[in-house]
């Protein structure tokens, strides 16, 4: 079956914060009800990332992002019974990272999600319904894709399923946590840097993300 490959162009600019309004649940295969290829992803002016080893001097850094302490659990997971219940049901106990992020659908809509990373898996939880939307074993993650620019976007590539395109001001910490958590695995987690990359927005939907730096905005 031919895979659909629309382009998505991402303009890296400082003038407009991301819109959080279009929040609708996708189907289990990653699609939503009105996929199209006309959306642009626009990061906010708070594109803060940290200077850590996985970036190896490749990415453009902001001065404000060069010094930040990592906390890991920004939600105090233990104080949220519904999150603890989700983890306990799966047998996970050690939380390496927890924070609210934005997840993108195939059409570029943004959805609020809670991202949990344990020593075994990645969890996406709907903060409005307290429902587990997806669990991905760390062993299933092949690589992470990031641009070479200063932005908040990153993709997690899962060949056996469909991929994740997300945004977080703590992107560098997320990358660092995943790299550390997968050390010792048969294949080390690859972190790829490019201003254009493809990802599976759904099982049979391949999209290309293109990053452009816009000057003078």
The token duo for 91 is: 């047998």
Domain boundaries, the chain: 71-210
CA separation for the pair 11, 211 (Å, rounded):
6
Q: Are 149 and 124 in contact (CB under 8 A)?
A: no
Q: Encode pLDDT of 104-118 as tens digits.
A: 988 889 999 999 999
Q: Are 95 and 116 in contact (CB under 8 A)?
A: yes
Which position has the higher pLDDT, 72 or 36?
72
Of 60-74, 88-102, 114-128, which gets the smallest average pLDDT?
A: 60-74
In which order are the strands placed within the sheet that holds 205-213? Answer: 7-12, 205-213, 196-202
**What mean pLDDT comes out for the span 109-128?**
97
Half-sphere exposure of 3 (CA within 13 A, CB side): 14
- Give the pLDDT band (50/70/90) at residue 61: low
Beta bridge partners of 208: 7, 198
The residue among 69, 35, 47, 216 whose CA lies nearest residue 147 is 47
Architecture of domain 71-210: Roll (2.30)
State residue 32's pLDDT score: 52
**What mean pLDDT comes out for the span 6-23?**
42
Is the pLDDT reported for residue 139 higher than 90? yes
Q: Are 83 and 77 in contact (CB under 8 A)?
A: yes
């Amino acid at each position: 079956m031919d895979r659909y490959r629309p382009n998505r162009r991402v303009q890296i600019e400082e003038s407009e914060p991301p819109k959080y309004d279009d929040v609708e649940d996708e189907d289990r295969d990653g699609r939503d009800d009105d996929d199209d290829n006309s959306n642009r992803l626009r990061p906010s002016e708070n594109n803060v990332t940290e200077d850590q080893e996985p970036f190896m001097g490749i990415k453009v850094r902001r001065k404000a992002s060069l010094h930040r302490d990592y906390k890991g659990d920004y939600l105090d997971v233990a104080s949220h019974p519904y999150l603890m219940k989700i983890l306990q049901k799966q047998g996970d106990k050690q939380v390496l990272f927890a924070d609210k992020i934005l997840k993108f659908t195939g059409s570029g809509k943004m959805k609020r999600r809670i991202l949990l990373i344990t020593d075994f898996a990645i969890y996406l939880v709907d903060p409005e319904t307290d429902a587990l939307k997806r669990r991905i074993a760390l062993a299933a993650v092949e690589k992470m894709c990031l641009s070479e620019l200063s932005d908040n976007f990153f993709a997690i590539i899962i060949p056996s399923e469909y991929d994740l395109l997300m945004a977080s001001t703590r992107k560098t910490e997320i990358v660092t946590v995943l790299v550390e958590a997968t050390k010792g695995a048969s294949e080390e987690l690859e972190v790829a840097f490019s201003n254009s990359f493809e990802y599976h927005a759904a099982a049979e939907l391949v999209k290309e993300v293109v990053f452009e730096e816009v000057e003078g905005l």
